[in-house]
Chain A
Amino acid sequence: KQEVTQIPAALSVPEGENLVLNCSFTDSAIYNLQWFRQDPGKGLTSLLLIQSSQREQTSGRLNASLDKSSGRSTLYIAASQPGDSATYLCAVVKAAGNKLTFGGGTRVLVKP
């Protein structure tokens, strides 16, 4: 059974510092991995999707890497801003059209 872990559960950094969020999964046979952002009381916003054949994806200040063999993904957020404060969730899919398995999330606070 796939298990997804995100460490740390919470993170607080001063504005301007780079953020590094970790995600690990136990079964390397994945179809893709997605990173999401969730603001309090809101749904999830898709940030980046990495296919199993890819090693990284970039969007603006965000960069996500994927090392399937070691079961790890890392989300980097450069030059953090207070508006980046949110919970970040990673999720993996075993096969196309299958359900996502979510990590527990990392709650990020960027202090001005």
Chain B
Amino acid sequence: GAVVSQHPSWVICKSGTSVKIECRSLDFQATTMFWYRQFPKQSLMLMATSNEGSKATYEQGVEKDKFLINHASLTLSTLTVTSAHPEDSSFYICSALTSGSAGELFFGEGSRLTVL
């Protein structure tokens, strides 16, 4: 299947700093990528839909100024957690949608963020 790479896989930062997470589709172009957040032993919660060349669409309750999403190319989307706080500590996962009628989603390995 298609490969989606996420980087970094884990990051620890101090409260108040910003952290950028990258999501790359390695062997296909993805006009649409999705960002999820997952708390321990819970399912994935969709944060936003990222479309190449346009503004991201955020889910209700997700602060767009805090979670900045940029999808500047067909193979790269980034999520920046600005002014991170301990409650932002979580597992963040991206996914990329293949083109064509199948529309299959492939997921990155996830990024664990710990804010001290």
Interface residues, chain A, with chain B CB atoms under 8 Å away: 31-32, 34, 36, 41-46, 49, 51, 89, 91, 93, 96-97, 99-100, 102-105, 107
Which residues of B in the span 17-51 have a Cβ within 8 Å of any Cβ on A?
32, 34, 41-44, 46, 49
For the complex of A and B, 7 pairs with smallest distance between CB atoms: A44-B107, A43-B109, A43-B110, A43-B107, A102-B43, A104-B43, A96-B103
Listed by A's residue number, 26 A-B pairs whose Cβ atoms lie within 8 Å are: A31-B103, A34-B104, A42-B109, A42-B110, A43-B6, A43-B109, A44-B44, A44-B93, A44-B95, A44-B107, A45-B107, A46-B1, A51-B102, A89-B44, A91-B105, A93-B103, A96-B103, A97-B32, A99-B46, A100-B46, A100-B95, A102-B43, A104-B42, A104-B43, A105-B43, A107-B41
How close is A54's CB to chain B, nearest CB, in angstroms? Answer: 11
Report Cα–Cα, A44/B105, bound state, in Å.
10
Which residue of A has the minimal Cβ distance to B51? A97
Q: Could you say which residues of chain B place their CB within 8 Å of the CB of A45? A: 107
How close is B86's CB to chain A, nearest CB, in angstroms? Answer: 19
| B56 interface hit (Cβ, 8 Å) | no
Report Cα–Cα, A103/B44, bound state, in Å.
9
Given A41-B110, A42-B109, A105-B43, is A99 in contact with B102 using a C-beta cutoff of 8 Å?
A: no
How close is B66's CB to chain A, nearest CB, in angstroms? Answer: 20
Q: Could you say which residues of chain B place their CB within 8 Å of the CB of A44? A: 44, 93, 95, 107
Given A43-B6, A102-B44, is A36 in contact with B34 using a C-beta cutoff of 8 Å?
A: no
Q: Could you say which residues of chain A place their CB within 8 Å of the CB of B32? A: 97
Report Cα–Cα, A100/B1, bound state, in Å.
18
A42-B110, A44-B93, A96-B103 known; 11 other A-B pairs, CB under 8 Å?
A32-B102, A32-B104, A36-B107, A46-B1, A46-B104, A46-B106, A46-B107, A89-B43, A99-B34, A100-B46, A104-B42
Q: Could you say which residues of chain A place their CB within 8 Å of the CB of B110? A: 41-43
